[in-house]
Amino acid sequence: MTSHRAPFGLGLLLVSAACSVLEPPVARNVDGVVTEGRFIEPDAYALYAVASLREARGQWREALDLYQRAFDVDGRGPELRTRIGAVACKLRQDKLADRHFAAAARETPDYGPLWFELARCRQSRADYAGAQSAALEAVRLDPERFEASLLAADIAEQRGDRALAWRLRDGLSTHAPSSAMVQRDILSAALRDHEPARAARAQAALTASTRRGAAPAAADGVAGALRALERGDLGAAKHEAERLLGADAGNGDALVIALLVADLEQDHRAFDALLASFAEQGTPASPQLLSQLAALLGRRVSAQADQLVRPQP
């Protein structure tokens, strides 16, 4: 299961915003059982939604309080424990962080984001050996999450293991040649490490990515952006979504397309920024786009999460 703080918060945000551009009301279908209620407490969803935004904006004390309140309402699953651990670590509340990380690891040891956040926490404490172990576990559990490999490479560099650091980065460069996030990170590392050949390759990949992004969409509007997504032209889809959001920040369809592109590009910073700029009032997303978003949630959160936004038949 691939999840991150904002992606999981997305599902919570969508169901808690009463006038969201990504509404309307939905039914849930879990294991073939349709119900109007939710198996996860609505109050926990609402608290987690606000906490996610607080955390994304650096308001860590407020975020921690909200995460803990959500945990008191519904503490099932590793997501809340992971977020509590991550934010407590930023606040140097080490005992609280360690307690929640350890509990999450006991209950759900195959939850990749737990190990990613644990690696970041240990890195911040200068426990580089422990951070490396956790980061490599995050990569093993979630190899498609580029951010985990980049973190593991950075920690390897801090430990003085240049061979491992470049093995991870070179693998990503081959696996994700069109990811601007990956190539920017590799370029920065190559310049820092005096690797001119690697720097030149990363710069060439970034230039090619920029040219693709500047290419006009085959057709304007949401329909053109959707067709671009379907043929894998993420640059054109992103360009059109940004144009639409620039004209109308409350365009629900454009917001969903932008989220889908950020998800496919593994650009978590862009995903976070889109959530932070989310407008509660605007044009509701169409059923077609809500179905696309439901599939996104199914990938990033859980097999059942997509039911939170999937339109009624």
pLDDT score of 295: 60
Per DSSP, the residues of 140-168 read HH-TT-HHHHHHHHHHHHHTT-HHHHHHH
pLDDT score of 296: 54
Higher-confidence position of 174 and 51: 174
Q: What gap in Å lies between CA 265 and CA 279, rounded to an integer?
A: 23
For the segment 93-117, the average pLDDT, to the nearest whole number, is 95
With cut-offs at 50, 70 and 90, classify the pLDDT of residue 38.
very low
Most confident of 72-81, 116-125, 226-235: 116-125
pLDDT of 307 > 80? The answer is no
For 149-165, what is each residue's pLDDT tens digit?
A: 999 999 999 999 999 99
pLDDT score of 8: 46
pLDDT score of 92: 96
pLDDT score of 289: 67
* Stated pTM of the model: 0.61
Most confident of 46-55, 118-127, 290-299: 118-127
Higher-confidence position of 76 and 289: 76
Q: What gap in Å lies between CA 212 and CA 235, rounded to an integer?
A: 6
pLDDT score of 305: 43
CA distances from 257 to 154, 221, 252 (A): 31, 11, 9
Higher-confidence position of 199 and 299: 199
For the segment 107-130, the average pLDDT, to the nearest whole number, is 95
pLDDT of 310 > 60? The answer is no
Mean pLDDT across the chain? 75
What letter does residue 301 receive in the DSSP assignment? T
For the segment 10-30, the average pLDDT, to the nearest whole number, is 38
pLDDT of 102 > 90? The answer is yes
Most confident of 1-5, 176-180, 214-218, 273-277: 176-180
Q: Where are the alpha helices (DSSP H) in the chain?
A: 5-16, 42-56, 60-73, 78-90, 94-107, 112-124, 128-141, 146-158, 162-175, 180-192, 196-214, 221-230, 234-247, 252-264, 268-276, 287-300
pLDDT of 21 > 50? The answer is no
